[in-house]
Structures are given as structure tokens and as C-alpha cells.
Amino acid sequence: MKLTKIDNDSYGTILTSWCICAVLIFLTARYISILWISIPLCALMVVFMVFITWFFRVPDRETPDEHNHRLVTSVADGKVVIVDKVYEKEYLKRDCIQISVYMDFFDVHCNFWPITGEVTYYNYHPGKYLLAFHPKSSELNEHSSSCMKNEHGEVFFKQIAGTFARRIVCYSEPGKMEYRGEQCGVIKFGSRIDLFVPLEADVKVKVGDKVRAVESVLAILPDHS
């Protein structure tokens, strides 16, 4: 049986949460003598400590057909909220199909490379903290942008902060080769991923679909071999 892995960049958040809960448990036990109040309060804080640790888990998942470099898999767990033709103006500067996945508080928040290919672009954008499903959050919120390229095309994606997501971690390094299904970063708490694929790509999801990072195929790139 494999042990659940915890995201390397989240130990500080977990430790801080544990320390705060430990202090609250001590104060509750020390100063609230009414057991039917103090015991449930302490139990709730223990449950929260377990939850915050579980929240930053890194799931062990199998990538579908890892040798097929045309497959574009989901960067994140969540719900598809946008599938639309748009003009990507930051880097690709052309019409694309945008696929957006919204992560709620209970979804896995580690992110994973959508294709196997070379990282060709990375940029971090400071910004606001609108609700992640807000139409303008893609442009106005804090976010990081990455682009990957292989022999079948380019895939551009954004990790977008939400109202409660105050830290984005991204492992993108231009010029480095990365592999579909391996971890590419983490967004802490509710947030969103915007992914852009070529117009010729065969999109496999629709608005309302629930997707899983690594396992769910969002699109198939055109065959340029």
C-alpha cells in the first residue's frame, strides 16, 4: 500500500495550521470546563488538522496512453466551466479553444503538466483576488502563465488565484522538457485553470463535466507527424 504524498511546498501551511489548532485546543481545554462544549470544540480542531493535511495531498494516478503525445489531460481536478473559441493575446496571439476548470475547496489543488513537451514560456502576473469563476479573473487575478510545445502543437495554460488562493507555485522553466502527468505546481485553496489548445484540436469535454487531473483527456491535438 502506497503512502499518500504531501505537496512539498505546503508543509509550511500545514505546520502553521497545526500550531494554531494546538494552541486553540490547549486554551479550550484549559479555560472551558464545560465538557459538552470543550470536547466538541477540540474534536473540530483535530478534524480540521486532518483535513488541512489531506487537502494538500498529491494523488498517485496513471496517465492514459503515456506514449501518445497528442493527448491533452487536465491540469487540475474540478468542473469544466468554459469551453469556447477565444483570442489568446498574451503569448500565442491567435484564436484558440479555451477550456477552463474550476477547483472548489474540496478538490485536489496540485497541478500537473497537460502534455509531454518543452516549456517555451513562463510569466507570473500579480493581481487581484476576484472569485475564480468571475469572467474577468483570468486577466485581473494573480496568475502564472505557461506554454508547452511538442511535435503536435502548443498548449498554453494559466494557474489563476481565487478569493482565498493567495499563493501559486509553478515549476515552469523555459527550455526544460516536462512529461504529462507529472506535478507542475499547486494553487492553495479555491482557484481555476485556463487551458488553450489549437482550433484544430478535438475537444473531449463540455461545460459541466467533472474532470480529474492526469486522468481526464480534455482534447486531442492534431496529428502533425
Active site residues: 191
DSSP string, 35-84: HHHHHHHHHHHHHHHHHHHHHTEE---PPTTTT-TTEEE-SSSEEEEEEE
Q: Using CA atoms, how far apart are residues 140 and 126, in angstroms rounded to an integer?
A: 9
* CA–CA dist 194, 176 (Å, integer): 21
Among 178, 158, 180, which residue's Cα sits nearest to residue 72?
A: 180
CA 190/CA 187 separation, integer angstroms: 8
Backbone angles phi, psi at 127, to 5 degrees: 180, -155
Q: Which residues of 41-58 are buried (b: 16+ CB within 10 A; e: fewer)?
A: ebeebeeebeebbebbeb
